[in-house]
A and B are shown apart, each in its own frame.
Chain A
Amino acid sequence: MQSLGDFKLPDFFNYPPYFTLQPVRETKEKQILMWKELILKYCKSQKIFIIGLEEEFPLFSNQKIQRSLNNEAREAFLSALVSEGRAEWIDRGHKRCLILWRSIQEWANYILDFVRENGLETDVMTIEDIRCGIETRGSDLERIDRGVLMQALKILEQKGKAAIIESSSADTGVKFAA
C-alpha cells in the first residue's frame, strides 16, 4: 500500500477514474463519499486545517498513476464537506477551505478536557501560548488554526467556562474557569 509519510492511502487513490469527477450520479455520490473520508482522515492525521484549492496538496495528485484532480473535482469534494458542516469556505470565491476534522463544538470539549487534565484552570493563557506554548506541545492544540480556536473559545465563554480577555497591546488572552 502506498503512503504519504506515515499516512496509509486507500486503494482507490491508485485507481485512475477516481481522479475524474464521474458523470453518473450514483457513481459520483460514491466517489465523493470516499474522497470526503480520505480528506478528513488525512487532515486529522497531519493536523491540517486549511486547504487552498489552487495550491499544492498531497491528496490532489498521485504521481504514481500520473493523475490529478481538476478544480471542479476539488471544489465538489470540499463543497460536500462544507454542506455536512465538516468544512467552511474561508473566502467567497471558494478558493480556501477550513477543514473541521473536529467540529467547533468538539474542539470546545477537547479544550475543556485538556485544561482539566493539565490543571490549567484559573490560569491565563494567550492564544499564542495555546498554539505554540510548551503546555500544549504534542496535543492536538499545537498549531491549531487561530480561527477555529477563537470560535471554540467563544463557545466556552458563552457557557461560562472561559473568559476571553481582549487586549490592544498584547495577544488575546483567555482565562479558564474551574
Chain B
Amino acid sequence: MRRKPGISGLKSAAAARDQFRAVGENVARVKADLMKEQLATFRSQLEDFARKHKNDIKKNPTFRSQFHEMCAKVGVDPLASNKGFWAELLGIGDFYYELGVQIVDICMLTRSDNGGLISLHNLRLLVCQKHKTGRESVTEDDCLRAISKLKILGSGFEVISVGKKKFVRSVPTELNKDHNEILELAQIQSYVTVEQVERKLSWSSGRATDALKTLLEEGLSMIDNGHVDGISRHWFPCVSTSSAVVEE
C-alpha cells in the first residue's frame, strides 16, 4: 500500500496499522484460547486416563514404562514434582522416591565389594530382593528413572554404559576410556590378565599395567595370584554375578 502524501495520509496509515494490530491480536487470542481449551481437554483426559489406570501404572511395569513414554512425548513429567496432581493422584512420586532411597542404600552396602560400581542388572536384582512382595515389580527402566531423579541432589550417582551393559557409579571416580575398555573386556570372563589387555586392545605393556593398577587402587578390581599358571588375574566384582548377593 502506497502512503498518500500529507497529514491525512499519515493519519490513515496509522489508523490502518491500528486496525491490522487489532485484527492480529484478535486472531492470536482466539488461537491461544483454542490452545488453552485443547490443553485443558488433553489434561483432563490424561488425568482421567491416569485415574482409570492408577493400579495398572503402579503394579504393571510394562504399562508404567509405556505411560512414561506417552507422558514424555507430550512433554509432561509426572515425576517433576512430588506436590503436583500426579503425585496426589498416583503416588507415583513416592514410588520413585522410595526406589531412589533403596538404590542409594544398596550402592552404599555393596560399595566395599564392588568399589562403587554396580551393574544395572545386579542392582535391580538386589532391589527386587528388598521388595519381598512382587519380584517382578521393579524394572531396570524404573531404576534408571529413580537414578535420574537422584541427580537433583547432586549426589554423584551416574549411569555409564560399558559395552552393552549399563553400570551405576556411586563414587566420584572418573573412569577414562582405557578403564571402560578394560571393563568391557572383563565382561567376557569376569577377569582379565595384563597379557589379554595388551593383546586384545593392542596396548603397550605400560598402558595396560597403569590402567589395571588404577582400577585396583580404586577398589574396582581384586588381584588373584593363585592360579597354577602363575599369571595374575584382575577380577571385577561389578561384572560378576556371584558376588552381587549381599549377605544379610
Contact = CB atoms under 8 A, between A and B. Distances in A.
Interface of A: 10-12, 14-20, 22-24, 26-27, 30-31, 66-68
Given A24-B216, A26-B112, A30-B113, A19 B226 contact: yes
A14 to B, nearest CB: 6
Nearest to B112: A30
B243 interface: yes
Chain A binding surface, main DSSP class: helix
Given A11-B242, A30-B113, A17 B224 contact: yes
A23 B222 CA distance: 9
A24 B217 contact: yes
Query: What 3 pairs across the A-B complex have the smallest Cβ distances?
Result: A17-B222, A17-B224, A67-B226
A16 B226 contact: yes
B109 interface: no
28 contacts: A11-B242, A11-B243, A11-B245, A11-B247, A12-B243, A15-B222, A15-B235, A15-B242, A16-B226, A17-B222, A17-B233, A19-B224, A19-B226, A20-B223, A20-B225, A20-B226, A22-B222, A22-B223, A23-B223, A24-B216, A24-B217, A24-B219, A26-B219, A27-B216, A30-B113, A31-B222, A66-B226, A66-B228
A18 B112 CA distance: 13
Chain B binding surface, main DSSP class: mixed
Given A20-B225, A20-B226, A67-B226, A15 B240 contact: yes
Interface string B202-235: 0000000000000011010011111110000101
Contacts of B112: 26, 30
B226 A68 contact: yes
Q: In this complex, which of B112, B191, B216 has the most chain A Cβ atoms within 10 angstroms of its Cβ?
A: B112
A90 to B, nearest CB: 28
Contacts of B226: 16, 19-20, 66-68
Contacts of B240: 15
Contacts of A18: 222
Contacts of B115: 27
Contact of B227 (A16, A23, A24, A26): A16
B219 A16 contact: no
Contacts of B219: 24, 26-27
A153 to B, nearest CB: 36
Contacts of A17: 222-224, 233, 235
Nearest to B246: A11
Contact of A23 (B191, B216, B242, B247): B216
Nearest to B232: A20
A12 to B, nearest CB: 6
B242 A16 contact: no
Q: In this complex, which of B191, B224, B242 has the most chain A Cβ atoms within 10 angstroms of its Cβ?
A: B224
Nearest to A67: B226
Given A14-B242, A23-B223, A30-B113, 8 more contacts: A11-B245, A15-B240, A15-B243, A16-B191, A18-B222, A27-B115, A27-B216, A67-B224
Nearest to B234: A17
A100 to B, nearest CB: 23
